[in-house]
Structure 1
Amino acid sequence: MPKPGKPRTVTMDGARFVVLTPEQYAGLESSRRQLGGQQAQVARMKLDLQRGRELLREAERVLADLPAKHAESSSGRLGPERGLPELLADIRAVLPSRADPDRTP
């Protein structure tokens, strides 16, 4: 197996530059693309986390407004192993109907 080439440095007008071989440059570009993909994945994960936190805040708000008599009548539906969107839908289903001031029609 050939030994990887060491990058050369060149000084021009007092500035140092690194001269890469075509293989080294291709490897650098590949690494840049991989990094970009990983950064995009992290951004998506942060957005998902933010959405999850917003759903949790909404669930907490809805649960705080849930009258005790409605919470008792919904036993079995407000249980664990439910996703937040399903949980919110179940909570809304047992609440008395009223206009939600936070939402626009």
Structure 2
Amino acid sequence: MARAPRPRHITLGGRAAVALTVEEYEQLIASRRQIGGQSARVRVLAQRARQAEQLLDDLEALIAAHRAGCSRHAHPAPADRPEDGTTPGAPSEDVPSRCLCGDVESLLRTHRDTVS
């Protein structure tokens, strides 16, 4: 990284100012462009995070609405995620008292807990 420029304070027309060499000015402009690019990337990532959050909220609402009328959803899906966060070994079809909505609900809850 280049050395930090030492500002040269001057008075111009009765106002305090800082004088830069052409090289220092070009470095300043390049730094501003880099920061602007990074700021734009952060805004895009923040928007994507908000969209993903909204998708999760919509999924949770859809599952909650489905849950009331689901004949296979006799018991809530247990929090059966292993400690390492991997997917449970037995799919819903193998356990008659569970259904896909319970598994998805458990998965959503697990991932929400890791982000909170």
Q: Normalising by the residue count of structure 2, what TM-score does the alignment of the two structures yield?
A: 0.55
Task: Give the drift of 1:19.
Answer: 1.1
- Residues 31 and 4 (structure 1 numbering): CA distance in 2 closer, same or farther, change over 3 Å? closer
> Is contact 2:8-2:19 (8 Å) kept?
yes
Q: What is the CA–CA distance in structure 2 between the aligned matches of 1:4 and 1:41, rounded to whole Å?
A: 26
Which residues in structure 2 correspond to 1:1-105 (within 5 Å)?
6-66=6-66, 67-69=69-71, 71=73, 72-74=98-100, 78=104, 80=107
> Is contact 1:7-1:21 (8 Å) kept?
no
Gaps in structure 1 of 5+ consecutive residues: 82-105
Task: Give the drift of 1:49.
Answer: 1.1
1:54-104 per-residue CA deviation (whole Å, 9 max, x = no partner) reads 1011011101111332554537974749xxxxxxxxxxxxxxxxxxxxxxx
Q: Normalising by the residue count of structure 1, what TM-score does the alignment of the two structures yield?
A: 0.60
- Residues 62 and 75 (structure 1 numbering): CA distance in 2 closer, same or farther, change over 3 Å? closer
Gaps in structure 2 of 5+ consecutive residues: 74-97, 109-116
Corresponding pairs, count: 79
Q: What is the CA–CA distance in structure 1 between the aligned matches of 2:64 and 2:102, rounded to whole Å?
A: 19
Q: What is the CA–CA distance in structure 2 between the aligned matches of 1:49 and 1:30, rounded to whole Å?
A: 29
Instruction: Give me the CA root mean square deviation.
Output: 2.8
- Residues 46 and 64 (structure 1 numbering): CA distance in 2 closer, same or farther, change over 3 Å? same
> Is contact 2:63-2:101 (8 Å) kept?
no
> Is contact 2:9-2:16 (8 Å) kept?
yes
